[in-house]
Amino acid sequence: MTVDGDGGPVWVGIDLGTQGVRAVAVDAAGAVAGAGQAPLHRDVRDGPRHEQDPAEWWTATCAAVRGAVAGLRGRAVAAVAVDSTSGTLVVQDRRGLPAGPALMYDDIRAAARVPAVQEAGEAVWTALGYRMQAAWALPKLVELCATGAVPAGHTVVHQADHVVARLAGRPVATDTSHALKTGYDLLADRWPTDVLDRLGVASAVLPAVVIPGTRIATVSAAAAGECAIPAGTPVVAGMTDGCAAQVATGALAPGRWCSALGTTLVLKGATPALVRDPGGGVYCHRHPDGGWLPGGASNVGAAILSRDLPGADLAALTPAAAALGVPPGATYPLVGPGERFPFTDPAATGFDVGGPDAPTPAETFARVAHGVAYVEKLAFETLAGLGADVSGPVVATGGTSRNDWWCRLRADVLGRPVSVPEQAGSAFGAAVLAAAPPGSLARTAADMVRLRATFDPRPGRAAELADGYARLRAELATRGRLPV
């Protein structure tokens, strides 16, 4: 959607996704003054390996940005920020040009190195409250260095860093958000050089690190000719796509949370203190204003509807699903094995018990919708048990946020308001980040994020939904997923 603003300046946010690049130009009131997007075609998957061509990131970025600024009619671009997929790495030369294919966020070719990486930095990772994982960037960095893929004078940078280097015409600093999965010590605010030395990684191959929103470059004349952003436009350090999506919801003050429900369920919030999860399901980014941005991701979500109700029109099924009331039994809607949060168990499987033997499509939809809402409630209770303030409202994003009945059900189950923003997505969040003065991201987001609707919990439903939630907890306890 494009909305004409008041003629004032705009901020450009660029989102580097897996399938394409999206760019938006946003004004101070949160109105989108222009948008553009471009696909990425050169995506190669081969077993554990997933690669893309960084050169295509740049051409797609230029196309998307040209679309976003084409209709600005002379309005000034005040600043630019770029977000990207978390854990994606590329080797680049002294000029900031790619020296090979990028290793994407879900590339797990370095899985065999995880035990050594975990052991080498055990004290650091424990202090930060997480464990290294196969898809994270540090094992891949170790693999690149060990196999001679980083020649002398080259560096290893994140996806956003590389595109900003193309904008600036030179290598640039990275940010604490992208650096997290590469092993940056967020408590000491430095690369853990002793850990890197034990892993055979020279700290010189890594960029300097700054807080998201820090001015790190300006658009070069050469880049201006390609992407149509004026030369000299400030570029600020970005964030991962997940953090930028959180910024787009405005859930940046303690007690406020965003809940993205699409294929999976992702919860993100803000806390003054670091939240440590012994189970490893929650980890924290640094909040650019100070404090922390904890988050956890469950494997439950709408993906199971694509499997069980392929091609179904969920909007058409909604009235019948809503009329059914609270389903009997309990449903934990996992598509495949493994759960990350609100409990961590790689062997966990989904279940649907106590319901009809041959459910109708409306019954299936209702059971999944209730099951996901109960898991969401359990996730918030788990966060509260870890010391996080979860007392505030929730902002819902993701594909399911377009279904008002499902949003209202979630508000009823959670017992708190659930709001849906007018604009969502990482590109919008990156634009908000570009607009924020240092230390003022939460306040800037509050000014720019507009809400489409707010669903208040209905007290009359609390008892019956509490019964449905209790059945899910009891079934999880029986299966050993929760304490009895």
Lowest mean pLDDT among 2-6, 171-175, 340-344: 2-6
In this chain, the answer to whether the domains covering 10-239 and 250-478 adopt an identical fold is yes
CB count within 10 Å of CB 247 equals 33
Q: How far is CA 2 from the centre of its chain?
A: 24
- Residue 230: CB atoms within 10 A of its CB come to 12
Q: Phi and psi at residue 232, in whole multiples of 5°? A: 90, -5
Residue 349 φ then ψ, to 5°: -125, 155
In this structure, what are the phi and psi dihedrals at residue 368, rounded to the nearest 5 degrees? -65, -45
State mean pLDDT over 102-129. Answer: 96
| CATH code for the domain defined by 250-478 | 3.30.420.40
174, pLDDT greater than 80: yes
Question: How much is the pTM?
Answer: 0.93
Percent of the chain's residues with pLDDT above 90: 94
Tell me if residue 87 falls in helix, strand or coil: coil
CB atoms within 10 A of CB 359: 15
To which residue do tokens 């690049």 refer? 21
Per the CB < 8 A criterion, the answer to whether 238 and 84 are in contact is yes
Question: What average pLDDT does the segment 447-465 reach?
Answer: 94
Q: How far is CA 474 from the centre of its chain?
A: 31
- For the segment 420-446, the average pLDDT, to the nearest whole number, is 96
Q: Domain 10-239 sits in which CATH superfamily?
A: ATPase, nucleotide binding domain (3.30.420.40)
Chain position carrying tokens 């020296």: 99
Model confidence at 446: pLDDT above 60: yes
Confidence check: pLDDT of 5 > 50 = no
- What is the token pair recorded at 57? 């990131």
Q: Decide if 78 contacts 434 (C-beta within 8 A).
A: yes
Neighbours of 114 (CB within 10 A): 19
The yes-or-no verdict on residue 470 having pLDDT over 90 is: yes
The conformation of residue 185, written as its DSSP 8-state character, comes to B
The closest alpha carbon to 336, from 383, 301, 290, belongs to 301
- Tell me the average pLDDT of the chain: 95
Percent of the chain residues past pLDDT 70, beyond the cut = 99
Phi-psi region of 439 (alpha: psi -120 to 50; beta: other; left: phi over 0): left
pLDDT of 2 reads 40
Nearby residues of 234 by Cβ (< 8 Å), 6 or more positions away: 78, 79, 80, 215, 217, 218
Confidence of residue 6 (pLDDT cuts 50, 70, 90): low
* Phi, psi torsion values for 152, nearest 5 degrees: -55, 135
pLDDT tens digits, 211-237 = 999 999 999 999 999 999 999 999 999
Instruction: Render pLDDT for 376-430 as a digit per residue (tens, 0 to 9).
Output: 999 999 999 999 999 999 999 999 999 999 999 999 999 999 999 999 899 999 9
Task: Dig out the tokens for 216 from the structure.
Answer: 């790190």
State phi, psi for 80 to the nearest 5 degrees.
Answer: -130, 145
Using CA atoms in the order 36, 74, 421, 305, what is the torsion angle rounded to 10 degrees? -10
**In this structure, what is the dihedral angle of CA atoms 304, 307, 309, 315, given to the nearest 10 degrees?**
50
Amino acid letter for position 433: L
Q: Where do the domains of the chain lie?
A: 10-239, 250-478
Q: What is the mean pLDDT of residues 328-342?
A: 94
Tell me what pLDDT residue 7 has.
80
Cα–Cα distance between 235 and 233 in angstroms, integer? 7
Q: What's the token pair of residue 358?
A: 């041959």
Give the tens place of pLDDT for each residue, 283-332: 999 999 999 999 999 999 999 999 999 999 999 999 999 999 999 999 99
